[in-house]
């Protein structure tokens, strides 16, 4: 009972928030929205340290479809991060978004609701539905509140991810039908399908196509090289909060889907395709990094750095080692915190000067020293400096994949050059905007006030706490990872 109340609360609070913000008066909408996000965050936080929770409700019994939810550490930590970033985004938007504020907040909560529903879903069809549903509020958030080139970006984002998901739908339906053909029962429940197909595997010639259809959908979402070109456009054009939630959570649904569904369902295919997928991840790391270095737009630079960082995550996942998976999951959280912070910080400047051009700034260290402290710490976390959060995940991913039997250590060595390249583009950005003489756009920048302190310090605290004592999140990640691996075939373990 407690389980169902908690889980339904997680889904319904943001959904209701969306309705409330749509109906509430315009005056004070920012405050109302922030309080509602706060309620969700506290609700989510109350579960901290708790055991797994389940909820299941029949929906269309004849077709075996149930509204079943499962909360374990993989879904929980992302939900917690999502609700934290959501709170900060609402807070930020309460002063930054003035145009059509009600619609903005309402759509934002709707986005939050679909994210959480997606992360909780245990029924594949429901997962699919919310996986697609997330696109709609995001489509409007970019399309209405975005930058100059927002229409192109939002269409590209929408069509690209949508097209990818359709492949997954085909794969998913084939799985559904194959199960029916073999057992005479309909179900889309993930644990049932996983247990059944681990005993009676599908022929590899068929399985590989289903696997690839899942991987394609998730790879576009992550995005894995070479499916990444929608991301820089979407990030650059999205409003600040949109970029934060996009980098912080939406991309992670892709890697989450790989870890939760694609690989546990099809371990044989995953092993067969490990090398090409790892190579694509490594290419993503390297190409993302060197392209990031050449960018003239701050948000585009950070967007490409996301491509590079998520290459690490997928490398950890596809190389199929427990250490690598733990690192990959931690890196998902870290990237959400760090890149979220970076997008907030760029937003802080952009909202003052309305320019994202790197060359236009300079000497911020003399105009806005507190901002620069936060910016440098966040950047160093992105570089993977030990002691900050980015290092732990990155290190474990590389250490894990180096031990993997599925991928040649050579590729891991190539991936490790990412630590050099990330230093190059990040320090380039710091130098250009923070150091040197105060340039034209930087002249008018005002430093942090009290609300900025409130907004940015939780993220920086998280960077240090994960970097210095990762166990407080790692221990629960480890439980889920080892559970998933215990169900994988012997060869993987």
Partner 1 sequence: MTNDIDSIFAVLSGVAVLLPLLGAGLWFWLCPRLGEKLTGYAASSFLGISFLCTLILFFKVDSFVQLEFARWISVGPSNLASFSVLLDPLSLALGLVVTGVGALIHIYSVGYMHGDPGFGRFFSYLNLFVVAMLILIWSDNLLGIFLGWEGVGLCSYLLISFWNKDLANAQAGKKAFIVNRIGDFGFLIAMFCLYRAFGTLNIPELLVLVREGGLADWQLEYSLWACLGLVLGAAGKSAQIPLFVWLPDAMAGPTPVSALIHAATMVTAGVYLVCRLQGLFLLHPQVLELVAYMGGATAFFAATIAIFQFDIKKVLAYSTISQLGLMFLAVGLNAPVAAYFHLITHAFFKALLFLGAGSVIHGMHHEQDMRKMGGLRKKMPLSFWTMTIGVLAIAGIPPLSGFVSKDEILLMTKLADRPWLYGLGLATALMTAFYMGRLWFMTFFGRTRSDHEVHESPANMTAVLVVLASLSAVAGVINWPRAWGGSEWLSSYFGDLVYQGSVDSQVSWGSLLMKVGIAVAGLGLAWWKYRAFVGGDDFRSSSFRLFKGKYFIDEIYDFLFVRNLRRAGELCWRVVDQGMIDGSLHLLGRLANSVALRFKRLQTGVLQAYVLWVWIGIIVLLFGAWSLGS
Binding site for partner 1 (CB under 8 A): 156, 159-160, 226, 228-229, 287, 290-291, 293-295, 322-323, 326, 363, 365-366, 380, 385-387, 392, 395-396, 398-399, 402-403, 409, 412-413, 416-417, 419-420, 423-424, 427-428, 431, 434-437, 468-471, 474-475, 478, 482
Residue placing its CB nearer to partner 1 in the complex, 4 or 417: 417
Adjacent-strand bridge partners of 66:
58
From residue 224, alpha-carbon distances to 161, 273, 283, 307 in Å are: 12, 14, 9, 7
Nearer to partner 1, 111 or 251 (CB): 251
Nearer to partner 1 (CB atom), residue 183 or residue 471? 471
CA nearest neighbour of 36 among 59, 57, 20, 22: 20
What's the closest the beta carbon of residue 435 comes to partner 1, in angstroms? 4
Q: How far is the CB of 393 from partner 1 (least distance, A)?
A: 10
Report in angstroms how near the CB of residue 392 gets to partner 1 at its nearest: 6
- CB of 394: closest distance to partner 1 in angstroms? 9
Shortest separation between residue 460's beta carbon and partner 1, angstroms: 13
Nearer to partner 1, 302 or 323 (CB): 323
In whole angstroms, the minimum distance from the beta carbon of 53 to partner 1 comes to 22
Q: Cβ contacts of residue 249 below 8 Å, gap of 6+?
A: 78, 81, 82, 85, 115, 336
Residues in the chain: 493
Cis peptide before 226 (omega within 30 of 0): yes
If the CB atoms of residues 156 and 353 are measured against partner 1, the closer one turns out to be: 156
Nearer to partner 1, 194 or 366 (CB): 366
The smaller minimum CB distance to partner 1, of residues 44 and 473, is found at 473
Strand partners, 189: 123
Closest approach, Cβ 366 to partner 1, in A, equals 7
**Strand pairing class (53-60; 65-71):** antiparallel
Distance in angstroms (rounded) separating the CA atoms of residues 88 and 334: 16
Label residues 234-267 b or e (16+ Cβ within 10 Å = b). Answer: bbbbbbbbbbbbbbbbbbbbbbbbbbbbbbbbbb
Measured from the CB of residue 426, what is the shortest distance to partner 1 in angstroms?
A: 10
The least CB distance from residue 331 to partner 1, in Å, is: 13
Nearer to partner 1, 206 or 417 (CB): 417
Would you say 250 or 307 has its CB closer to partner 1? Answer: 307
What is the closest distance, in whole angstroms, from the C-beta atom of residue 36 to partner 1 in the complex? 36
Query: Which residue, 272 or 424, has its beta carbon nearer to partner 1?
Result: 424
Taking the least distance from each CB to partner 1, the nearer of 196 and 293 is 293
* Residue 399 · residue 286 · CB < 8 Å: no
Nearer to partner 1, 63 or 163 (CB): 163
Q: How far are the Cα atoms of 12, 26, 51, 461 from residue 19, in angstroms, in the given order?
A: 10, 13, 31, 33
Cβ 2 to partner 1 shortest distance, Å:
28
Question: Cβ of residue 133: shortest distance to partner 1, in angstroms?
Answer: 24
């Amino acid at each position: 009972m407690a389980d169902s109340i908690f889980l339904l609360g997680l889904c319904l609070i943001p959904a209701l928030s969306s309705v409330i913000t749509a109906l509430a008066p315009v005056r004070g909408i920012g405050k109302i929205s922030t309080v509602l996000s706060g309620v969700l965050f506290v609700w989510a936080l109350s579960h901290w340290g708790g055991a797994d929770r389940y909820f299941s409700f029949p929906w269309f019994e004849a077709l075996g479809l149930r509204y079943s939810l499962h909360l374990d550490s993989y879904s929980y930590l992302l939900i917690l991060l999502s609700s934290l970033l959501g709170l900060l985004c609402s807070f930020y938007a309460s002063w930054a978004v003035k145009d059509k504020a009600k619609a903005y907040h309402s759509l934002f909560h709707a986005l939050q609701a679909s994210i959480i529903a997606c992360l909780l879903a245990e029924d594949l069809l429901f997962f699919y539905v919310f996986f697609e549903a997330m696109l709609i509020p995001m489509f409007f958030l970019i399309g209405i509140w975005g930058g100059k080139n927002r229409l192109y970006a939002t269409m590209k984002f929408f069509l690209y991810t949508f097209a990818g998901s359709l492949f997954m739908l085909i794969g998913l339906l084939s799985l559904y039908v194959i199960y029916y053909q073999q057992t005479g029962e309909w179900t889309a429940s993930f644990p049932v399908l996983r247990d059944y197909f681990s005993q009676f595997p599908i022929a590899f010639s068929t399985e590989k196509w289903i696997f690839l259809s899942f991987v394609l959908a998730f790879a576009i979402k992550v995005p894995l090289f070479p499916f990444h070109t929608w991301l820089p456009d979407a990030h650059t054009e999205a409003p600040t909060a949109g970029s934060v939630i996009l980098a912080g959570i939406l991309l992670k649904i892709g890697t989450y889907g790989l870890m939760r569904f694609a690989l546990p369902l099809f371990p044989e295919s995953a092993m067969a395709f490990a090398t090409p997928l790892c190579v694509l991840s490594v290419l993503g790391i390297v190409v993302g990094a060197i392209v990031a270095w050449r960018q003239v737009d701050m948000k585009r630079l950070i967007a490409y750095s996301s491509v590079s960082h998520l290459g690490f995550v997928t490398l950890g996942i596809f190389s199929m080692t427990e250490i690598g998976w733990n690192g990959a999951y931690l890196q998902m959280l870290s990237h959400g915190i760090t890149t979220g912070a970076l997008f907030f910080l760029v937003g802080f400047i952009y909202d003052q000067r309305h320019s994202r051009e790197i060359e236009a700034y300079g000497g911020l260290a003399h105009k806005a020293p507190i901002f620069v402290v936060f910016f440098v710490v966040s950047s160093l976390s992105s570089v993977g400096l030990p002691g900050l959060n980015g290092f732990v995940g990155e290190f474990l991913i590389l250490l894990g994949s180096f031990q993997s039997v599925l991928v040649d250590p050579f590729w891991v060595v190539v991936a490790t050059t990412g630590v050099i390249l990330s230093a190059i583009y990040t320090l380039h950005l710091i130098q250009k905007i923070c150091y040197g003489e105060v340039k034209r756009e930087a002249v008018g920048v005002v430093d942090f006030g009290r609300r900025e302190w409130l907004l940015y310090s939780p993220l920086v605290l998280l960077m240090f706490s994960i970097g210095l004592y990762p166990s407080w999140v790692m221990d629960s990640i480890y439980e889920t990872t080892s559970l998933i691996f215990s169900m994988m075939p012997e060869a993987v373990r």
